[in-house]
Amino acid sequence: MFSSVKKILIPTDFSYASKKALSHAAVLAEKTGAKITLLNVIDPPFNFPTNVEGVIDYLQENAESHLEEMIELVQKKYPGKKFTIKSQIRIGKPVSQILEAISDLNIDLVVIGSGADSPAKKVLFGSVSTDVILRSNKPVLAVPEKSNETNVDYSQILFTTNFRQTDYKNLNLLVDFAKLFDSTIDILHISNEKDLDSDIKFRGFKQLATDEQIYDKLSYNYKIHQDAFEGISEYISENSISLMVMNRYKKSIVGLLVDKNYAKKLSIYSEIPLLVLIGE
């Protein structure tokens, strides 16, 4: 799937995080030949009832200038690389417009900056990026503002799993991604205790991937920890992970990760990109 990505969407508010997201998208577009669409959404300022049209016109002109600047910056950063970038401005509520754009433009992958939007900077994701991560029907790559400044690195990927059926399907999709960068993939399951059911699923998952020879750079890891977040965080710190991948279900760790009450204590998640794949 990832080798055939043709359209990448980058919702941008012109923040530092969204500019980093553009760098990641440019690298991916170079590998896949995908076209990039930069999207800025103007939320109508209804507190200006006497001159709403004039205010929106001003905001559009300002947005167009910022979009042109972002395109120029990424082209200078990656001279000689061949990728196509276009921009679009929409009027409305950011999340709903982003979700509509994903559908309208037949987007394959969303790349979004995940700068915190609280004054105390204690949450990992702003409210817009959180909603997009939880509601998009396409994979979302969230790039934190604290991620590596100098280069885009996907050399060592962490894939977390609870052995749901779609997890194996998504692992195959991730292998397609990893082959683009010759990455290693660490498969990790966290359990709060050693039990037979998890052990059987772990062995079966490993055996299936081994028998089907889906990739020769896979490692399999089963970790006991009372707190899944802390267990993953420890693994990331100990193994120099450069990209974390999670599967999103209605009830899954992804939903908790973007919740400020859980995420604020786990700074490691604010330093590496998170790729969220869609579960069934």
Is 53 a domain residue? yes
Domains contained in the chain, number: 2
Q: Classify residue 241 by burial, with Cβ atoms within 10 Å: 0-12, 13-18, 19+.
A: buried
Is residue 19 included in any domain, yes or no? yes
Q: Residue 249 class from Cβ within 10 Å (0-12 exposed, 13-18 middle, 19+ buried)?
A: middle
The fraction of the chain above a pLDDT of 90, given in percent, is 54
Average pLDDT of span 95-108: 96
Q: For position 121, what pLDDT does the model report? A: 40
How many whole angstroms separate alpha carbon 168 and alpha carbon 3?
18
- Per-residue pLDDT of 155-208, as tens digits, reads 999 999 999 889 999 999 999 999 999 999 999 999 988 889 989 999 999 999
Cα 109 to Cα 111: distance, rounded to the nearest angstrom:
7
Please give the torsion angle defined by the CA atoms of residues 144, 146, 152 and 157, in that order, rounded to the nearest 10 degrees.
Answer: -70
φ, ψ of residue 144 in degrees (nearest 5): -75, 150
For residue 215 the two structure tokens come to 């990739």
Distance CA 275, CA 141 (A): 4
Cβ-proximal residues to 216 (8 Å cutoff; 6+ apart), any chain: none
Q: pLDDT digits over 45-54, tens only?
A: 665 555 666 7
The C-alpha atoms of residue 45 and residue 239 are separated, in whole angstroms, by 47
**Rounded distance, CA 220 to CA 230, Å?**
19
127 and 194 both lie in a single domain: no
User: Do 195 and 123 sit in the same domain of this protein?
Assistant: no
Is 65's pLDDT higher than 60? yes
Contact yes or no for 184/175 (Cβ under 8 A): no
Q: What is the pLDDT of residue 122?
A: 39
> Is the pLDDT confidence value at 112 over 80?
yes
Lowest mean pLDDT among 81-95, 140-154, 204-218, 266-280: 266-280
Which strands sit side by side in the sheet containing 274-278, from one edge to the other?
Answer: 84-91, 35-42, 7-11, 109-113, 140-143, 274-278, 243-248, 156-160, 184-191, 218-224
Is there a single domain that holds both residue 202 and residue 133?
A: no
**What is the pLDDT of the chain when averaged over all its residues?**
85
User: Does the pLDDT value for residue 142 go beyond 80?
Assistant: yes
Residue 225: CATH number of its domain: 3.40.50.620
Percentage of residues of the chain with pLDDT beyond 70: 85
* DSSP character at residue 16: H
Task: Classify strands 35-42 and 243-248 as parallel, antiparallel or unpaired.
Answer: unpaired
Task: Report yes or no on 258 lying in a domain.
Answer: yes
**Residue 265 in this model has a pLDDT that exceeds 80:** no
Last residue of a domain, one of 111, 143, 175: 143
Both tokens of 277, joined, read 């794949």
Task: Say if 280 falls within a structural domain.
Answer: no
Average pLDDT over residues 36-41: 95
Beta-carbon contacts of residue 194 (< 8 Å; ≥ 6 apart): 224
The secondary element (H helix, E strand) that includes residue 245 is strand 243-248
Question: Do 211 and 92 belong to one domain?
Answer: no
Query: Which of the pair, 55 or 96, is modelled with greater confidence?
Result: 96
**Rounded average pLDDT over 72-78:** 86
- Structural domain span for residue 169: 156-271
Band of residue 123 on the pLDDT scale cut at 50, 70, 90: very low
**Residue with the larger pLDDT of the pair 238 and 83:** 238
Instruction: Check residue 77 and give its pLDDT.
Output: 85
Per-residue pLDDT band at 146 (split at 50, 70, 90): confident
8 and 110 share one domain:
yes
Q: What are phi and psi of 95, to 5 degrees?
A: -65, -45
